[in-house]
Amino acid sequence: MVNVIGLGYIGLPTALMMASHGVEVIGTDYNKELVATLNAGKTTFKEKGLDELFQNALNAGIKFTTEYQVTDTYIVSVPTPYDKFSKKVDACYVVEAVKDVMRVCPKGATVVVESTVSPGTIDKYVRPVIEENGFTIGEDINLVHAPERIIPGNMVYELLHNNRTIGADDKAIGEKVKTLYSSFCQGEIVVTDIRTAEMTKVVENTFRAVNIAFANELAKICRHDNMDVYEIIKICNMHPRVNILQPGPGVGGHCISVDPWFLVGDYPSLAKVIDESMKTNDGMPDFVLNRIYEIMKEKGLTDVSRVGLYGLTYKENVDDMRESPTLQLLESQERHLATGLKVYDPFITKDVVKNQYHDLDTFLADVDMVVVMVKHTEIRENVDKLSGKVVLDCHNIIDLPGVYHI
């Protein structure tokens, strides 16, 4: 039986996927409300295919609880934020979860850390917790790191089809855990050592962060001299060895805007390009805010409360707002003692910010200028409703005359 610890954006789909593929699974989360919601037969976030997967897992007998289970396999999928000052990974959630696992686990159990951690985190923080509990790693407890790569918005497909990495001290244990993941994963599963697995996950997200920062920098250069960055990137990407990502209003979520900082925190004198890239991406919401004021001036608009931000989430077609560029932009606006921007997101049904709307038409009726912060399908399907408005399109998806870009 597998006890999945942490039933958030990663732990829940993983638990459901395993249960749907014949593995006996109990999901544990210390959030009572979350567990009660799952036990009431409801999922806790919106994701394509998740409700169907949930039903399959329920039919297969998955259980949810706040209690840690006595079993032979644990999958730890708890948050790993970064410390805003040191930039290093904050491993406190992983440490607490592993401590709780140690209180109940029998000898011979395997503990799989799925949470993203910086290279060396497991040596520094997780091994001591296991040893302090009187266990010998490799004899009493097997330790494995199996980082997750799925993307919100396409999680169910990617869980099934992505390649995976499994890091283990002992190749045979790595192979055993590979068999567990092979119950559902159709991708290739590479078995390596733990530190390599830690580093690969962070490097993958860092590669994307640096590439996005490059695109954002190009957008700024092109803006400065009135060149079309999208056309330029499109042509450059026709080169067989060039693949530039797209510029945007900033990077959010819990991966690309977080994990590269771990390397900056751990290797401050070495990770220079990464540091600059993260600062470039973090500066994009402010860049968009300046663009809003520039365009307002050009168009003779004076009332900020007639400007609306479309989208609150950090990416399209999900309800995850963590570290989102829109939230960063609103914070920045408040710091400059200017408030009043209107906000709407079809995926955010609760009131979370000031001047928030819950209906596209009412939102559009109350604004003269729309800033497309997130490329939800809804706005792509309602482009005609933007005609007559001043539009700042941060994703180059609105095909209307006179649209502004970042």
Ligand X SMILES: NC(=O)c1ccc[n+]([C@@H]2O[C@H](COP(=O)([O-])OP(=O)(O)OC[C@H]3O[C@@H](n4cnc5c(N)ncnc54)[C@H](O)[C@@H]3O)[C@@H](O)[C@H]2O)c1
Does residue 42 contact residue 105 with C-beta atoms inside 8 Å? no
Among 25, 111, 122, 152, binds ligand X (CB under 6 A): 152
Shortest spacing between CB 205 and ligand X, in angstroms: 8
Of residues 208, 205, 328, the one with CA closest to residue 263? 205
**Residue 255 annotated to the active site:** yes
Among 178, 254, 375, 405, binds ligand X (CB under 6 A): 254
If the CB atoms of residues 80 and 396 are measured against ligand X, the closer one turns out to be 80
* C-alpha to C-alpha distance for 49 and 213, rounded to whole angstroms: 32
* Set 87, 255, 375, 394: catalytic member: 255
**Residue 201 annotated to the active site:** yes
Listed ranges 76-84, 231-239, 240-248, 385-393: which one lies at the site for ligand X (CB under 6 A):
76-84
If the CB atoms of residues 115 and 333 are measured against ligand X, the closer one turns out to be 115
Shortest spacing between CB 113 and ligand X, in angstroms: 9
Among 2, 11, 257, 312, binds ligand X (CB under 6 A): 11
Does residue 189 contact residue 178 with C-beta atoms inside 8 Å? yes
> To the nearest 10°, the Cα dihedral for 191, 195, 197, 202?
-170
Among 24, 30, 56, 353, binds ligand X (CB under 6 A): 30
Phi, psi of 177 (to 5 degrees): -70, -35
**Beta bridge pairs of residue 112:** 75, 144
* Set 63, 87, 178, 201: catalytic member: 201
Query: What strands lie across the sheet with 2-5, from one edge to the other?
Result: 63-65, 25-28, 2-5, 73-76, 109-113, 141-145, 164-168, 189-192
Instruction: Give how many residues touch ligand X by CB under 6 A.
Output: 28
Instruction: Tell me which residues in 261-290 interact with ligand X (CB under 6 A).
Output: none
Among 116, 142, 216, 317, binds ligand X (CB under 6 A): 116
Q: Does 3 bind ligand X (CB under 6 A)?
A: no
- Under the rule (CB under 6 A), what is the footprint of ligand X? 5-11, 28-31, 34, 77-80, 93, 96-97, 100, 115-116, 148, 150, 152, 253-255
Which residues are tagged catalytic? 201, 255
